[in-house]
Amino acid sequence: MSDSEPIVGGRVELQLLTTLKCNLKCSYCSLGVGEVLGSQADVEYDIEQLAAFVETHLQGKEVYVTFYGGEPTLNMKLMLEVMERFQRFRFQLQTNATLIHRLPDAALSRLSNVLASIDGGATTTDGYRGRGVYRRVIRNLQAVRGKIGGSITARVTWGNPDTGFEALNQLVDADSPFDYLYWQFVASDLYGGDSMARRKDVLVQLIDRFFSRSDVLYPVIPLMGIVRNKLFPNRARELCTGRTQCRVATHLLNVMPSGQIFPCPDMLYLPDMQMGDVQGNWLRASPLQASPDMPCQVCEAFSWCRGNCMKNLHLAYVRQDERYRSQVVEPICELIRFMGTEIDRRDPQAWFDRATVPVRRQLLDCEVYEYVEIMP
């Protein structure tokens, strides 16, 4: 396949922003940048136009749909229509989980994964999202747990430097509704003072916990992914053909309610990032690609990190936002390299050699790798 073909590889993630409305007001919401949030309440394309787009551009691909927003369940009608029309696709729901119990059982049973946003423990989650949200999310997920066809992944934006090991660990405790934990380091300037040292302290505890057992997997996606990538470097390359693992350079299509398509859901406010349109039925290759301006090629972490977040690197090194580079991107890269060093110190090869077959299988083939960025 040539580099100029719009989709690289055999998979496509169609991330449908069913609405840009949300029933919560999270203080750090990335859609707040450029005033995207709330700007498009209603979908402007219809299901026939979406079917024509799929027919024209996604023929022969393995397609999975992520329902995204705003809060996607606020437009349940579109979700159900898409599930009905595209029987062959896989489905994932990215949600704040406050309304998930309203989905019909038939829809819940078809979800391969639910990415439920939460910010760590009750204090932090309620601080960002509103009083009582943490308990409501856990209660709702426990209520629907048995009805969901696939897994539930806690999706944490790790913003608060006070977030401790216990708050993260309890999300994958035995009585938690979550099967996996995925976190991403927040993309704002919350890395000053002693906050780096405090985050490193928590990372060490998470990594120690990961390596404490090889008969049961500690289901924390960034740690699983880094260990997998270090031991089996081809796994880091195969799903994204050697490009960034967050899929923006190869096969992630974010469809706005207007039908406009962008590679990264955090860059919907930049017109030059548009790569297609459902109503106009066109698609081009993602404009969000690695560039020689980025420092990754000479970074010690590149073989397993593979560029982490292209949005961060693009803003810092291509658009040359110096403040963003020094306050956000460089601290995050430091944390990633720190994780790599700490993992190496615990001899991941020896750990894998001891691991049981189910642990090895999950580490290598966990389906959630296809749904999240893998790197934090």
Residues with Cβ < 8 Å from 234, sequence gap 6 or more?
Answer: none
46 vs 334 by CB, closer to ligand SF4:
334
Sign of the four-CA dihedral 165, 246, 314, 119 = negative
| Nearest distance, CB of residue 213 and ligand SF4, angstroms | 28
Closest distance to ligand SF4 from the beta carbon of 80 (Å):
26
Min separation Cβ 309 and ligand SF4, Å: 3
**Least separation in angstroms between CB 310 and ligand SF4:** 4
- Residue with Cβ nearer ligand SF4 (246 or 256): 246
Q: Which is nearer to ligand SF4, 134 or 191 (CB)?
A: 191
Q: How far is the CB of 337 from ligand SF4 (least distance, A)?
A: 6
Helix (H, G, I), strand (E, B) or coil at 64: strand
Packing angle between helix 76-85 and helix 47-57, nearest 10 degrees? Answer: 50
For residue 253, the surrounding DSSP H or E stretch is strand 252-255
Nearer to ligand SF4, 130 or 287 (CB): 287
For helices 122-129 and 133-144, the axis angle rounded to 10 degrees is 110
Q: Least distance to ligand SF4 from the beta carbon of 187, Å?
A: 7
Residues found near ligand SF4 in the complex (CB under 6 A): 246, 248, 264, 266, 295-296, 299, 301-302, 305, 307-311, 313, 333, 336-337, 373
Q: How far is the CB of 7 from ligand SF4 (least distance, A)?
A: 16
Which residue lies nearer to ligand SF4 by CB, 140 or 254? 254
Instruction: Map 142-195 to HEC letters.
Output: HHHHHHCCCEEEEEEEECCCCCCHHHHHHHHCCCCCCCEEEEEECCCCCCCCCH
Euclidean distance between CA atoms 366 and 108, whole angstroms: 20
C-alpha span between 42 and 62 (Å, rounded): 27
Residue with smaller CB distance to ligand SF4, 316 or 355: 316
Give dist(CA 179, CA 158) in Å, integer. 18
Complex with ligand SF4: residue 24 or 299, whichever CB lies closer? 299
DSSP assigned state of 329: I
What gap in Å lies between CA 170 and CA 177, rounded to an integer?
10
